[in-house]
Amino acid sequence: MQSTKRFAFCLLAFSFVSAICFGQSLKLQVKAAGIGFLSGYGIDLRNIAYAPMSLSANFSWKLALTSSQPDVRKGVFIQLEPAAGFVPRTNTKEWEYGLTPFVGFNFWTGAKFIPYLMIGSGPIYMTVKDISRQSGAWAFASAGAGGIKFYLAHKMYLNLQTRYRHISNAGIDNFFALIGLTWVPKGCDCPDF
């Protein structure tokens, strides 16, 4: 059952990107769109006392089908997110480390705030050993997230995000509230508001 969910999730992500590229005569451009961090807290949805405090970096690239310079605030983006999490537990202090690639979409509003959605999945290593059948080793995590990017300056935005994460092998479900800052690299087309 879990492998079926994982396959469906990956197929959905592939279809999302393919649908945008299919049948277009424009050139697909990939451009650096942001370097930042996110930090926050996860709550446990299954009452197994697994609520991580997370710190992650994020590296974003804009995908655009265009012949001109792509605006990093609009449309499809990909993001690579290395993360570390501290998991306070009753008797021990545990850690998790992971690397998650995401595919997302910015909903252009024409204002200083940009709502977005993204999905991703990737490997995670957990040190906790007492909660499920395959915890305490490598596992596979899938996540769905949504949030708002609020531009504080021309090349910097505040990122407010909520995220659901499922770690399939360990049977862990978390809901996260995250906040962070992202800087748009020099040379990106990010017009004034």
Domain ranges for the chain, please list them.
2-183
Which token pair is 47? 């009452």
Contact 42, 52 (CB under 8 A): yes
Q: 82: buried, middle or exposed (CB in 10 Å: 19+, 13-18, 0-12)?
A: middle
> 3-state class of 11 per DSSP?
helix
Q: Which residue has the higher pLDDT, 76 or 159?
A: 159
pLDDT tens per residue across span 30-59? 778 889 999 999 988 876 677 889 999 999
The pair of structure tokens assigned to 66 is 């265009």
pLDDT (0 to 100) of residue 23? 46
CATH number of 2-183: 2.40.160.20
User: pLDDT grade, residue 27 (50/70/90)?
Assistant: low
Beta strands per DSSP E along 89-155? 93-106, 113-126, 138-153
CB distance 146 to 104 below 8 Å: no
Give the tens place of pLDDT for each residue, 70-128: 566 778 889 999 999 998 865 777 888 999 999 999 998 878 899 999 999 999 988 87
pLDDT in tens, 130-151: 665 555 678 889 999 999 999 8
Inter-residue contact 78 to 116 (CB < 8 Å): no
**CA–CA dist 117, 1 (Å, integer):** 25
pLDDT at res. 56: 94
Average pLDDT, the chain: 80
- CA–CA dist 67, 87 (Å, integer): 47
The Cα 60–Cα 48 span in angstroms is: 33
pLDDT at 24: 46
